[in-house]
């Protein structure tokens, strides 16, 4: 049985990506680790868009455009997040989210 031509396979893979990202967000003890986990969640969403685009969308370009937009947003988000983390690290000398949760800079 071929599973690469089945919509549910891709949906389950993207659900697993979402769960990996969620687990990493809870588990990691540093801001960079949380950023890495958020990339997993974004990729799960993009894979979902592409799967629906391939199998059931009326216009097969829309899913690809959405996935491209997700990549652009992810790049912007990573740039902002890394610079915020660097600023926080300069101020606090640590990347522990527990210590920066009051956000008083």
Partner 1 sequence: MIVYKYIAEALFYAFMLLIFMGGFMAVRSRMLMHAVLGLAVSLFGIAGLYFFLGSPFLAMMQILIYVGAVCIMIVMGVMLGNTPDQLAAKNYSRRNTFLAVIVCSTGFATLFVAIGQTKFAPAAERVGDMSIRFVGENLLFKYCLAFELISVVLLTAIIGAIILARGGREEKAS
Considering the rule CB under 8 A, would residue 97 count as an interface residue with partner 1? no
Judged by CB under 8 A, the number of residues near partner 1 is 72
Considering the rule CB under 8 A, would residue 41 count as an interface residue with partner 1? no
Residue 51 or 103 having the CB closest to partner 1:
51
| Contact (Cβ atoms closer than 8 angstroms) between residue 25 and residue 35 | no
Distance CA 46, CA 68 (A): 8
Considering the rule CB under 8 A, would residue 99 count as an interface residue with partner 1? no
Under rule CB under 8 A, which residues in 9-28 are in contact with partner 1?
A: 10-13, 15-20, 22-24, 26-28
Q: What backbone phi and psi angles, to 5 degrees, belong to 5? A: -105, 25
């Amino acid at each position: 049985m071929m599973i690469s031509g089945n919509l549910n396979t891709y949906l389950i893979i993207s659900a697993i990506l979402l769960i990996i990202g969620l687990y990493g967000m809870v588990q990691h003890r540093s801001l960079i680790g949380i950023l890495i986990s958020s990339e997993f969640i974004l990729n799960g969403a993009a894979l979902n868009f592409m799967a629906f685009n391939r199998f059931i969308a009326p216009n097969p370009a829309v899913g690809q455009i959405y996935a491209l937009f997700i990549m652009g947003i992810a790049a912007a988000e990573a740039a902002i997040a890394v610079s915020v983390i660097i600023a926080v690290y300069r101020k606090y000398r640590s990347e522990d989210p527990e210590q920066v949760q009051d956000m008083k800079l």
